[in-house]
Amino acid sequence: MMRTFGHLGLVAALTAPAGAQELPALPRADHADWTAVGRVNTRGYNRRGMCSGALVAPDLVLTAAHCIAGPDGNPARTEDLHFVAGWLGGDYAAESAVTAYRVHPEAYARVHLDIEHDLALLTLADPMEIAPLPLVARAAPPYAVVGYHDHRPHMLSARFDCAGLQDHAMLRLDCPVRPGNSGGPVLSRDGDAWSITAVISAAARGGALAVPVDDWVRQWLD
């Protein structure tokens, strides 16, 4: 049983009992290291409808398809989408409107969401002077999950010790997620740095399901 988590208030296409577990708060002193992660606000600049997302190029944000298209692929209006990098209690590192977005071509090929392709890229109106997070194709635990959720929407929450294993085309993690965490990055150590290997899509059995970054994402970064 699993629950997809898009913007707050989204009626889930797949449901499971809500759990009490959640990602703990990231210490305020560490927020400066994670300004590439931000809130994808789905109802304007600072409204409560949100997902998480990560800057992967100065003008591109990686997030989940269901955050901007809904469970049946109904498209969001670009004027309702806004990315706020490094949001922390009203402060932020950068912000931009969204001028366009691309949803993975397989995400809604059969109308309803195919969770194995729950990926989207947002194009920002204003490129950001923030170092994007790199992508890594092959990764191994421990994994990190960084993002925002409904119990703590104004500061990042994170874990850096998540176990994980492949579950068909998905990555199953033992770290819990809540509404708002969708679209947030799953990261793995790549040398001395953390790199994105997947995107949070759903909660499952007290943990999370994530979609590995694929060639569709990489082609837009070449």
Query: In tens digits, what is the pLDDT along the chain, a chain of 222 residues?
Result: 344 444 333 223 222 333 448 999 999 999 999 999 999 998 755 555 789 999 999 999 999 999 998 656 678 889 989 999 999 999 999 999 999 999 999 999 887 889 999 999 999 999 999 999 999 987 789 999 999 999 999 999 999 999 999 888 999 999 999 999 999 999 998 778 899 999 999 998 889 999 999 999 999 997
Distance (Å, rounded) from C-alpha 175 to C-alpha 182?
13
- pTM value is 0.89
Query: Does this chain's domain 21-27+133-219 share its CATH topology with 34-124?
Result: yes
Query: Quick count: other Cβ atoms within 10 Å of Cβ 165?
Result: 10
- CATH 2.40.10.10 assigned to domain 21-27+133-219? The reply is yes
> What residue segments make up the domains of the chain, in order of their start?
21-27+133-219, 34-124
Dihedral angle at the C-alpha atoms of 119, 125, 130, 135, nearest 10 degrees?
Answer: 20
Cis peptide before 142 (omega within 30 of 0): yes
- CATH 2.40.10.10 assigned to domain 34-124? The reply is yes
Residues 6+ positions from 37 with CB-CB distance below 8 Å: 52, 53, 54, 55, 85, 86, 133, 146, 147, 156, 184, 185
